[in-house]
Structure 1
């Protein structure tokens, strides 16, 4: 195992993704190489059609790559069979989506425990208490999703992703359906889970303010990785987004 793979929670090596064939083919990713550091909050940004969601789906094993390799920890994702992929996503990866994806008939507690129940695992009691305290849901565990605000529902989804202690959590526009206050609460929780608990998070977003919560922002344009920022401010992110067309030309 290389030092790079030991330090990376997930990585893409020269990844290409092409949908369709021949003249109808669309190249979504063009030779993307990216290493996601453990215990870091990484945001992926770019205009619509830049390939940011495709990259996240490939890193998470939700989509296959046309060429190149993807790793989660020391597991080579590209080439895994369906059963092995299912185990990988169940045991090593957490997901947070824009639509929350909570089951309406289950309480908040049951929704949070669901991935562990499916895997036949028990929650570590101390870690459970830590997660619930971090998301501030101790008094809402018996409520069903319809009895919760949008921000509370997304915090349930965050707790569900975190409770199994995955190697990496992938968040796809996690604040896209939230007002600014609720969005800030969720982003603050994600940042705290990285800083206080060493979680690794990869977030796709179009929002410069959301990206400013991350330790690192990488920028895609036309399927290629064209720039990145460490410790970004919202102003830095917005300025980089404005100049992506120049960066594409220079790449």
Structure 2
């Protein structure tokens, strides 16, 4: 596939991405030449062993962190070409975020939390689209409640609705079920998949959980800061088997090479 084709089909991508923290003896290569595209209108999960670089990849792809070398794109926009002001505007207008912590404002109602990014940008929401989103996330009867009156799963549904409210090109989700029980987590994951299908938007999710990854259309696997595999139509069992293979390989390599000679990369 040509670079032009990839750009046209991708909501986000990184090319030859390298991220280095520290210098000299303390140098850590969190990303080591990663090239990966996240197709538009799809739900992609990023997985890998602890320290594989998966969160670093998401942060750099989303413009929350900068690459040491290589390039990150949202659509056809090269993030490295943007100054701080334009990067802030791009994140506000074209990217949504869902984090492990719900990050809701306790003094605002559910409705106000959902529209907060639009209000801060001075943008009038598409009322029909917003109503459809509220129904999709199942919050119609909670709009006037405050976060303290909601369960953890309900709060994360508010966060999901807020991420999609501005019709972003891509939503990045970093361990979105990490603070939820299994039932609430399952509801949020089904919600993410349903929202992708109904709105045609794109979700990129970092997770360590094979069950969570199985909700995605595709899983990309990192190990030691490198892209090592992609899996379409994942199941929890297939993802778990792949992760076990990583663990087995890491154990073998550690036994052969002895004490590590470089710092562990970030997750």
- Classify the TM-score, shorter chain: over 0.9
Instruction: Give CA deviations for 1:121-157 in whole Å, capped at 9, x if unaligned.
Output: 0110110111000000011011110000000000000
For the residues of structure 1 that align with 2:54 and 2:26, how far apart are their CA atoms?
21
* Residue 100 of structure 1, aligned match among 102, 121, 140: 102
- Counterpart of 1:29? 31
* Residue 155 of structure 2, aligned match among 149, 153, 156: 153
Does structure 2 conserve the Cα–Cα contact (< 8 Å) formed by 1:227 and 1:247? no
**SS of equivalent to 1:139:** helix
Question: 4+ residue stretches of structure 1 with deviation over 3 A?
Answer: 245-250
- Counterpart of 1:19? 21
- Counterpart of 1:233? 235
* TM-score (norm. length: structure 1): 0.97
For the residues of structure 2 that align with 1:44 and 1:3, how far apart are their CA atoms?
22
**SS of equivalent to 1:91:** helix
**SS of equivalent to 1:243:** helix
Asked if 1:78 is matched to 2:80, the reply is yes
- Counterpart of 1:60? 62
**SS of equivalent to 1:2:** helix
For the residues of structure 1 that align with 2:35 and 2:114, how far apart are their CA atoms?
33
Considering only aligned residues, what root-mean-square deviation do their CA atoms show, in Å? 1.4
For the residues of structure 1 that align with 2:4 and 2:214, how far apart are their CA atoms?
31
Does structure 2 conserve the Cα–Cα contact (< 8 Å) formed by 1:45 and 1:217? yes
> 1:1-251 maps to which residues of 2 (within 5 A)?
2-245=4-247
Instruction: Give CA deviations for 1:6-46 in whole Å, capped at 9, x if unaligned.
Output: 11000000000000111211110000000110000000001
- Counterpart of 2:258? none
Query: Following TM superposition, by how much is the alpha carbon of 1:180 offset from its aligned partner in structure 2, in angstroms?
Result: 0.9
**SS of equivalent to 1:178:** coil
* TM-score (norm. length: structure 2): 0.91
Does structure 1 conserve the Cα–Cα contact (< 8 Å) formed by 2:49 and 2:247? no
Query: Following TM superposition, by how much is the alpha carbon of 1:244 offset from its aligned partner in structure 2, in angstroms?
Result: 1.4
**SS of equivalent to 1:214:** coil
Query: Following TM superposition, by how much is the alpha carbon of 1:199 offset from its aligned partner in structure 2, in angstroms?
Result: 1.1
For the residues of structure 2 that align with 1:14 and 1:245, how far apart are their CA atoms?
25
For the residues of structure 1 that align with 2:209 and 2:5, how far apart are their CA atoms?
33
For the residues of structure 2 that align with 1:6 and 1:192, how far apart are their CA atoms?
24
Unaligned runs of 5+ in 1: none
Larger radius of gyration: 2
